[in-house]
Amino acid sequence: MEDAPEQYDPSREYPGRIYCICNDTVGGTMVLCENHRDNDCKGKWFHLRCAGLHRSPAKNVRWYCMDCRKKLGRGLLHNGVVR
């Protein structure tokens, strides 16, 4: 099993900022959409539970949010995870 990537807490840089599709603040482990630089990516950072993940993706995989999956046609069948 591969180690999960180091966890980053975006609240340190952007306190009080709204994240995720749930429109909540930072809480718990979060995952960054690989397409986060695209203005169409609505959440950029997502709570694992909102992303439908049980743990952070491994370092060698990419994860895309649902909107970016549809837009890019990536990760549609694997919960957003692309190897």
Whether 7 has a pLDDT exceeding 80, the answer reads no
Is 36 known as a binding-site position? Answer: no
Is 50 known as a binding-site position? Answer: yes
**CA nearest 15: which of 2, 25, 30, 23?**
25
pLDDT (tens digit per residue) in 26-64: 777 888 898 888 887 876 888 889 988 888 888 888 899
Is 54 known as a binding-site position? Answer: no
Tokens of 6: 């180091």
| Per-residue pLDDT, 76 | 75
How are beta strands 30-32 and 45-47 bridged, if at all? antiparallel
User: Lowest-confidence range among 13-17, 26-30, 77-81?
Assistant: 13-17
**CA nearest 24: which of 8, 48, 4?**
48
Query: pLDDT category, 16, cuts 50, 70, 90?
Result: low
Is 22 known as a binding-site position? Answer: yes
